[in-house]
Amino acid sequence: MSATAARSPMPAAKPDRQRAILELVRTREIRTQEDLVAELHRRAFDVTQATISRDIRELGLVRVHDDSGPRYAAPALELDADSAYRRLSNALREHVLAIEFVDLLGVVRAAPGTASLLAGAIDGMRFEEIAGTIAGDDTVLIVARSRPAAQRVLLRLKAMSGKA
């Protein structure tokens, strides 16, 4: 295969593209969506600004400010507790339609396309009561560690969402 053929842009699977985005924001100063598109093109990903915008939302990337100005950062691990709380609270208020628990399983119904963002924000809070989350398009499944833990999480999420 020629060098040109090896570097020609081609559509990539979404998980591969999103892994590349996370690696870029963790290792480089990505200040704009255009910077991200350019870096992905250099890595032979065929992307548009619209695709990147959706990926940023789904990945829950945040804008942080440093001495050089604003840049994108990966969610959860790079947020302090106050930022994680604000992020989850805002996501709950903006996107959640309903929250319920059945035994250890919580179901968060959300606006279409926002479940990944919500699951990331929930994971970012690192609730000790939660074993994990799974996101679909408009639903987040929360697995609690015990029945009392499930009830505590339900009350906290409802309070943060304003739907208590």
User: Could you tell me which residue, 128 or 62, shows the higher pLDDT?
Assistant: 128
Q: What is the pLDDT of residues 8-26, one digit of tens each?
A: 444 557 878 988 998 898 8
Tens-digit pLDDT profile for residues 78-128: 556 777 788 888 889 989 999 999 999 999 999 988 888 899 889 888 899
Return all residues near 161 (Cβ < 8 A) that are at least 6 apart.
89, 92, 93, 96, 99
* Residue-level pLDDT at 10: 46
* Burial class of residue 21, CB neighbours in 10 A (0-12, 13-18, 19+): buried
Q: What is the pLDDT of residue 79?
A: 57
Domains annotated for the chain, with CATH where assigned, are 3-74 (1.10.10.10), 80-161 (3.30.1360.40)
Q: Which of 78, 109, 80 is closest to 92 using CA atoms?
A: 109
For the question of whether the overall pTM of this predicted structure is more than 0.85, the answer is no
The residue with tokens 């930022």 is: 83
Instruction: Give which of 138, 140, 152, 129 is closest to 106, Cα–Cα.
Output: 140
Separation between Cα atoms, residue 29 and residue 69, nearest integer Å: 10
Q: Give the range among 50-54, 106-110, 128-132 with minimum mean pLDDT.
A: 50-54
